[in-house]
Amino acid sequence: MKTLQDYIDKLNALNFKEMYENDFFLTWEKTDDELEAVWILADALRYMREHNISTKVFESGLGISLFRDNSTRTRFSFASACNLLGLEVQDLDEQKSQIAHGETVRETANMISFMADVIGIRDDMYIGKGNAYMHDVAAAVSQGHKDGILEQKPTLVNLQCDIDHPTQCMADAAHIMRELGGIKNLKGKKIAMTWAYSPSYGKPLSVPQGVIGLMTRLGMNVVLAHPEGYEVMPEVLDVAAKNAQKSGGSFSVTHNMADAFKDADVVYPKSWAPYAAMEIRTRLYGDGNQAGIDTLEKELLAQNADHTDWCCTESLMETTKDGKALYLHCLPADINGVSCSEGEVEASVFDRYRDSLYKEASYKPYVIAAMIMLAKFANPGETLKALEERAVPRKMK
C-alpha cells in the first residue's frame, strides 16, 4: 500500500458497524470483516505515525487500565495506544483504591468512568473469572450510559483474560501476515502451537487458546501439540474445530512436538498450565486453602519436569518448512542458558529470531488503538481522512 487512501478504501469495503459502541472480548465473537478492520486500521495508524501525522482524535478523555497481574509489554502497549489517540492513561490500582468490601462491580465501574473512553483489563489468573469480570464491567458501564449516568460508553478492551489474549494474538497474526505476504497467503500454511517446558508453572492458557481460536479463522492448518495432561479449555477446542471447517483450514491435536514442527511454516512453542489444574487452583484460592495450593504447585512442577524435552531446539527447527519456519513468542521466553538452564527455546534459535520477535510485539499498540477507534468512531475512514487533511505533525520539525 502506498497512500492513506488505500487503507481507507480497504476499510470502507468492510462491514464493521457492529463494533461501534461495542467491546472487544474474544476474537471468535467477531466477524472476519471485523477482524480485518482491526488489522487494516492498525496498519493505517502505523502508516500515519511513520509519516508524522498526528492521530490524536481525542482532545481529552481517560483510558483506564486495570492490571490484576503484573505486566510490562501490555501495560506499555495500552499506554502507547491511548496516548497515540489523545487519551490519558489512569491506572486503577486496586491497592490504593477505596473499593469497599462487597462494593459492586457495577458501582466501581461507573464511578471511574465519568470521563473514560476506554477501559483495558488484564485478569487472567483464575479460570472462569477474568472474562466474566470484564463482561460485568462492560455491562455496568453500558447500563450507566443508557441510564444517563455516563455521557459516553467506555469501550472495554480485553488485555488478557482466562480464555483469550486477543490483543496479543491479533498482533501475532498481523506479524505473520507481514512476514508471509498478506492475509491471502495464510491459507494452507501450517502453524504449530506447541507446549514447551518451563521451570515455572501456572502460565496462563490465554495465548495457546487465543492462537488456535484465531489462526483457524485464516485458513491455516493449525496443530496444537502438548504432553498428555496439558489440555486447554474444551470449549476453545470446539471453537477451533468449527473455525477450521468453515475457513477451509484444519485443526488437530497431537502429543508429539516433532509431528507438530514437521514442515510447519510457523511455530509458537510456549509453556502453559493444564486447564484442569488451573480449575483446581481457582477453587483452592476461592477456599483460601494455602496448603492445597502449595501441594498443587509441587505436583505441577514435578509434572513439568517430566517434559523438559519439549524444547524448541535447532534440530526441531531444521525439520520445519525449509528449516525456516517463522518462530513466534509473546515474550518473555524462557531461554536455555539465559533466563534458566532448561526452558522453552535454545538460545541460538531465540537469537536468530530476536528482531522478528520484537517486531511481532510492535503490532500490539496499533492493534489496541485500532480496537478503540472502531468502538468509538462510527466512520473511522472519514476520521482518518480528516486527520490527514488536518495534517498536524506528531512531532514538530
Least gap, CB of 225 to a copy of itself (angstroms): 23
- Our CB check for a copy of itself shows the closer of 12 and 97 to be 97
The three-class DSSP label of residue 340 is: strand
CA 302 from centre of chain: 29
The pair phi, psi for residue 338, each rounded to 5°, is -115, -65
Least gap, CB of 69 to a copy of itself (angstroms): 8
Alpha carbon distance 272, 83 (integer Å): 32
- Our CB check for a copy of itself shows the closer of 261 and 366 to be 366
- Our CB check for a copy of itself shows the closer of 199 and 229 to be 199
Give the footprint of a copy of itself on residues 335-364 (CB under 8 A). 335, 338-340, 355, 358-359, 361-362, 364
Least gap, CB of 213 to a copy of itself (angstroms): 23
CA 118 from centre of chain: 17
Residue 180 half-sphere exposure toward CB, CA atoms < 13 A: 26
Using the rule CB under 8 A, is 154 a contact of a copy of itself?
A: no
Give the footprint of a copy of itself on residues 176-195 (CB under 8 A). none
Give the footprint of a copy of itself on residues 290-309 (CB under 8 A). none
DSSP string covering 261-282, please? HTT-SEEEEE----HHHHHHHH
Provide the residue type at 18 as one letter.
E
Give the footprint of a copy of itself on residues 211-250 (CB under 8 A). none
Least gap, CB of 314 to a copy of itself (angstroms): 20
- Our CB check for a copy of itself shows the closer of 188 and 337 to be 337
Least gap, CB of 14 to a copy of itself (angstroms): 20
Least gap, CB of 92 to a copy of itself (angstroms): 7
Give the footprint of a copy of itself on residues 361-390 (CB under 8 A). 361-362, 364-365, 376-377, 379, 382-383, 386-387
- Our CB check for a copy of itself shows the closer of 89 and 241 to be 89
Alpha carbon distance 87, 263 (integer Å): 45
**Run of H or E including 221:** strand 221-225
Q: Which residue from 67, 197, 272, 327 is in contact with a copy of itself, where contact means CB under 8 A?
A: 67
Alpha carbon distance 109, 92 (integer Å): 10
Least gap, CB of 5 to a copy of itself (angstroms): 18
Closest CA to 317 of 206, 192, 185: 192
Count of residues near a copy of itself by CB under 8 A: 79
* First and final C-alpha spacing in the chain: 25
Alpha-carbon distances, residue 242 vs 14, 186, 255 (angstroms): 23, 18, 21
Whose cell is 539465559? That residue is 338
Least gap, CB of 119 to a copy of itself (angstroms): 12
Alpha carbon distance 40, 37 (integer Å): 5
- Our CB check for a copy of itself shows the closer of 134 and 333 to be 333
Give the footprint of a copy of itself on residues 74-113 (CB under 8 A). 75-77, 79-80, 83-84, 86, 88-90, 92, 96-104, 107-108, 110-112
